[in-house]
A and B are shown apart, each in its own frame.
Chain A
Amino acid sequence: MMIFFWIVLFLISLSMLGFIYRLIMGPSIPDRVVALDSLGVALICMIGMISILSESSFFLEIILLIAILAFIGTVAFSKFLEKGEIIQRDNNLS
């Protein structure tokens, strides 16, 4: 059974390498952002595998955190690419 998890881990690592390739070579910025987002998802999987392999439950919070952060990060990048800034100034206040 453990062999299976090891193989999964190996495959996830390979997919991470692919994402990294896209991150570096990506012809446009959105390519890279998507690659980074996918990297986050791959990271979640990887940490899950490692938790199983090391038989500990301490890393489950990290999985949740990465999920949130990957989402926030991707949204922030997207907003930056679209509007040019992340936090828009409230016009009524200024």
Chain B
Amino acid sequence: MPFVYFIFIPMLAAILIPFLYKKVRSIHTGWFVLVVPVVLFGLYTTFVPKLQNGDTYTSSFDWIPSLDISFISYIDGLSLLFSLLITGIGALVVLYSIFYLDKTREQLHNFYVYLLLFMTAMLGVVQSDHLISLYFFWELTSISSFLLIGYWYKRDRSRFGALKSMMITVFGGLMMLGGFILLSIMGDTYSIRELIAQAPELANHKWFIWSLILVLLGAFTKSAQFPFYIWLPDAMEAPTPVSAYLHSATMVKAGLYLVARFTPLYASSEWWIWLVTGTGLLTLFWGSFFALKQTDLKGILAFSTVSQLGLIMSLLGAGAISFHTGVEDNSIFKYAAFAAIFHLVNHATFKGSLFMIAGIVDHETGTRDIRKLGGLMSIMPVTFTIALIGSFSMAGLPPFNGFLSKEMFLSGMLSIQNFDLFAFATWGILFPIIGWIASVFTFVYSLYFVFRTFTGKYKPDLLPKKAHEAPIGMLIPPAILGTLVIAIFFVPNLIGDYLVKPAVMAMQPFLYTSPSEIDIHISAWHGFFEPELLMTLGIIGLGLLLYWTLPKWQPLYTKFPDWLSLNRLYDSLMYFSEVGTNRLSRIYMTGYMRSYLVYMFTGIVILTISTVFIKDAFDVSFAMLAPIRFYELIIVLVLLAGTITILLANSRLTAIIALGAVGYSIALFFVIFNAPDLALTQLVIETVSVALFLLVFYHLPKLNRHENRLKFRLGNALVAFGVGATVTIVALSAHSQKLVPSISSYYEETVYSKAGGGNIVNVILVDYRGFDTLFEIAVLAIASIGIIGMIKLRLTKKKEVNRIEDK
């Protein structure tokens, strides 16, 4: 089976889940689901040795071949690394969720369908080589994440969090689609590999920067970078397995994947380097700083995820510098790319385990509020051990894997100041300083997370449940991750050689021909008096000091004005877009027919007049006009008198009579312009309509019967004058320039010889163009049936009220 079909295995499994859930109630549905990620993980593991020579594999099937759209699965180091993360952590999360979610109380079929859908979407994102299918899977991750966050849909906070994440990530996704479309136009291909191959030509294209910014917007919103991180803390309303899976290990890394994937394409631009590095560093600092404000365990973890994602993002930006020649020793920037990927793996391991720990604490004590927790160390020893491993790794302490990547991060940031292109030499000094301060805060909140929960005094009266150790099944997944955290520290080069180097190779394809050429050896020991060691010692020292004095300065966080926060900005943005558009539409949607008529007529006048003048179509020539006869003049005067009477009439009856006079004088026009059939019809119709007007006049309700003179309104007069002038101008211009002769001579010649009639008007009506007559008969029929319906069909008032209420 071609491996492109692997992507769709979870989706196919998702179809079966509801049936299994209904039929097999005795077994937890999760056990069936567990098979899928485990099998996929095994399948993807077989690719690991194959990629060691720098080979890549593609497999595809056509979706819309005529539009050149297909699903292409492209496996290189980067996509394999992500696929392994998705399936591996997916398997652990499913195992964890079997013990976390109760099979009698929860709607498991919903949960696992969404989760499997998400797995397909995520595998699709990381393996797609086609821009459009990449976007397709990208939106599928947004939608399935929306469903998962709103899993407990009866809670307000869940729905709010789901909506917020949906709004922000879909905004970014649409921006990204724009960037992709620009890219496909620039490169005339949808394939990412082919685009990367023509990167140097694309860099000079005028849309290059636009597509860069749009693609980055997509990556930043998905990966919760500043200022789009605000959806992530609110997404913590999801069940904990979802938080562990989506919001630490996989979905939030889709943006990082995107940045890594497009690095070879965009890295030549200074915009890319500055934006990616700068935003990453800002996010790193911001997230770590505000993590200490949180009192909810998952809130701390959410901010720490934001901050770690920023760290990886800034390393990806620094890694992009290695594309620039003319840098004396750019090996250090290759090192940054390596560090980014390495930390990405490390973060997935320790953050996944920490989220599971938070879930266990919540599950076994009933609360996640850090102020109510404490002293759980002796009650939950296993949980505490795993939490300690995860937190110390997050803080960057030996002997855990976070230490290795933190050292690499510091060396990467230190070397940025040596890079003297794009003004990095002047501003570069800021990078290690901000990175270092953020690391101090990271250290503090890691300690805060683990020691506030597990040490101190046990407060049983504050806890909703009596605390006890979690079941063994729940502890297995975080224990596996915790073991990995330690294992990676001791044998980092195993994972470095087999996973990280092929991924770096995919990010920097111009620099190497095979992953074995990357001569980076991870070492825990840099030697005495290296700046990294001193900085780490500084972090530990200052971090411990800050942690001990935490009760003194933590209240300062509440001093930050709430209205300055980005959440408030989002809320007011949503509020104003709703209320503002409401107000805007109330201004012009007055509900009065007269307003809409004014809009329409003004529009007609402006559009027509401007078209006539822009196209220079205004042309009046009197050459084609017939001479005016004096009785025509008199009828015109009669017509005018009648019209003016209608306008100035004191009573409605006068207006109706004057209207009749106008109609009759028009009939007279038909007479003098030789149209006897028209004149006949006009006379009858005019009489009937005057009679109808009188009928309606009598039935007008008494209250509305204002017999006052029509009020003079300047605006209406202007509009009316404009419409009249427009029609006159158009009629004059149209009459002055006739392009083709009339076809009426054909009718004159054939009215008797072909149609066998003498009255040319009637022959046209029923013979040459009988179709029009048919449907005008239909119009009359509809009108009369409608009148009968309106008169006869009287619904009682009660029913009408009901109908209005139903609407």
B653-684 residues at the A interface, CB under 8 angstroms: 653-654, 657-658, 660-661, 664, 667-668, 671-672, 674, 676, 679-680, 683-684
A3-29 residues at the B interface, CB under 8 angstroms: 9-10, 13, 16-17, 20, 23-24, 29
* B690 lies within 8 A of chain A by Cβ: yes
Please state if B691 and A76 are interface contacts (CB–CB under 8 Å): yes
Please state if A20 and B671 are interface contacts (CB–CB under 8 Å): no
A14 nearest CB across to chain B (Å):
9
Scoring A residues 28 to 40 as 1 if CB is less than 8 Å from chain B, else 0, what string do you get?
Answer: 0100110010011
Please state if A43 and B668 are interface contacts (CB–CB under 8 Å): yes
Please state if A86 and B694 are interface contacts (CB–CB under 8 Å): yes
28 pairs, CB–CB < 8 Å, chain A vs chain B: A10-B631, A17-B634, A20-B661, A23-B657, A24-B641, A29-B653, A32-B654, A32-B657, A36-B660, A36-B661, A39-B661, A40-B664, A43-B664, A47-B668, A50-B672, A54-B674, A58-B676, A61-B676, A61-B680, A62-B667, A65-B680, A66-B683, A72-B687, A73-B690, A80-B694, A80-B698, A86-B694, A86-B695
Given the interface pairs A17-B638, A86-B691, the reply to whether A50 lies near B680 with Cβ below 8 Å is: no
Secondary structure class of chain B's binding surface, majority of residues: helix
* A42 to B695 alpha-carbon distance, docked (Å): 27
- Find chain B residues with CB under 8 A from A36 CB: 657, 660-661
Please state if A39 and B698 are interface contacts (CB–CB under 8 Å): no
Interface size class of A (residues with CB under 8 A): 35 or more
* A10 to B672 alpha-carbon distance, docked (Å): 14
* B645 lies within 8 A of chain A by Cβ: yes
Please state if B680 and A62 are interface contacts (CB–CB under 8 Å): yes
Known: A20-B661, A85-B695. 8 other contacts (CB 8 A): A29-B653, A32-B654, A46-B668, A47-B671, A50-B631, A62-B671, A84-B698, A86-B694
* A44 to B273 alpha-carbon distance, docked (Å): 91
Q: Which residues of A contact B (CB under 8 A)?
A: 9-10, 13, 16-17, 20, 23-24, 29, 32-33, 36, 39-40, 43, 46-47, 50, 54, 56, 58-59, 61-62, 65-66, 69, 72-73, 76-77, 80, 84-87
- Find chain B residues with CB under 8 A from A46 CB: 631, 668
A46 nearest CB across to chain B (Å):
7
* A91 to B645 alpha-carbon distance, docked (Å): 39
B140 nearest CB across to chain A (Å):
67
- Find chain B residues with CB under 8 A from A61 CB: 676, 680
- Find chain B residues with CB under 8 A from A20 CB: 638, 641-642, 661
- A81: nearest residue on chain B (CB-CB)? B653
- Find chain A residues with CB under 8 A from B661 CB: 20, 23, 36, 39
- Across the interface, B634 reaches (CB within 8 A) one of A13, A29, A59, namely A13
Given the interface pairs A62-B671, A80-B698, the reply to whether A13 lies near B631 with Cβ below 8 Å is: yes
- Find chain B residues with CB under 8 A from A59 CB: 671, 676, 679
A45 nearest CB across to chain B (Å):
12
* A50 to B638 alpha-carbon distance, docked (Å): 17
How many chain B residues touch A (CB < 8 A): the figure is 31
- Across the interface, B683 reaches (CB within 8 A) one of A10, A56, A65, A77, namely A65
* A73 to B679 alpha-carbon distance, docked (Å): 17
* A43 to B634 alpha-carbon distance, docked (Å): 13
Please state if B683 and A50 are interface contacts (CB–CB under 8 Å): no
* A86 to B634 alpha-carbon distance, docked (Å): 33
Please state if A62 and B679 are interface contacts (CB–CB under 8 Å): yes
- Find chain B residues with CB under 8 A from A62 CB: 667, 671, 676, 679-680, 683
* A46 to B657 alpha-carbon distance, docked (Å): 21
B735 nearest CB across to chain A (Å):
23
* A23 to B658 alpha-carbon distance, docked (Å): 8
- Find chain A residues with CB under 8 A from B683 CB: 62, 65-66, 69
Please state if B664 and A39 are interface contacts (CB–CB under 8 Å): yes
B417 nearest CB across to chain A (Å):
93
B713-761 residues at the A interface, CB under 8 angstroms: none
- Find chain A residues with CB under 8 A from B634 CB: 13, 16-17
B685 nearest CB across to chain A (Å):
10
- Find chain A residues with CB under 8 A from B684 CB: 65, 69
Please state if B658 and A24 are interface contacts (CB–CB under 8 Å): yes
* A16 to B687 alpha-carbon distance, docked (Å): 19
Scoring B residues 620 to 636 as 1 if CB is less than 8 Å from chain A, else 0, what string do you get?
Answer: 00000000001100100
B676 nearest CB across to chain A (Å):
4
B496 nearest CB across to chain A (Å):
99
B35 nearest CB across to chain A (Å):
80
**Counting chain B CB atoms within 10 Å of each CB, which of A36, A56, A62, A80 scores highest?**
A62
A87 nearest CB across to chain B (Å):
8
- B668: nearest residue on chain A (CB-CB)? A43
B588 nearest CB across to chain A (Å):
39
* A73 to B656 alpha-carbon distance, docked (Å): 13
- Find chain B residues with CB under 8 A from A54 CB: 674
Scoring B residues 676 to 708 as 1 if CB is less than 8 Å from chain A, else 0, what string do you get?
Answer: 100110011001001100110010000000000
* A74 to B417 alpha-carbon distance, docked (Å): 102
* A10 to B676 alpha-carbon distance, docked (Å): 22
Given the interface pairs A32-B657, A33-B657, A54-B674, the reply to whether A16 lies near B638 with Cβ below 8 Å is: yes
* A59 to B680 alpha-carbon distance, docked (Å): 9
B182 nearest CB across to chain A (Å):
69
A10 nearest CB across to chain B (Å):
8
- Find chain B residues with CB under 8 A from A32 CB: 653-654, 657
- Find chain B residues with CB under 8 A from A56 CB: 674
The 5 closest A-B pairs by CB, nearest first: A58-B676, A13-B634, A69-B687, A24-B645, A32-B657
A22 nearest CB across to chain B (Å):
11
- Find chain A residues with CB under 8 A from B672 CB: 50
- B694: nearest residue on chain A (CB-CB)? A80
- Find chain A residues with CB under 8 A from B674 CB: 54, 56, 58
B80 nearest CB across to chain A (Å):
88
- Find chain B residues with CB under 8 A from A80 CB: 694, 698
* A80 to B698 alpha-carbon distance, docked (Å): 9
* A69 to B672 alpha-carbon distance, docked (Å): 20
- Across the interface, A76 reaches (CB within 8 A) one of B631, B645, B664, B694, namely B694
* A72 to B694 alpha-carbon distance, docked (Å): 14
* A21 to B672 alpha-carbon distance, docked (Å): 23
- Find chain A residues with CB under 8 A from B658 CB: 23-24
A23 nearest CB across to chain B (Å):
6
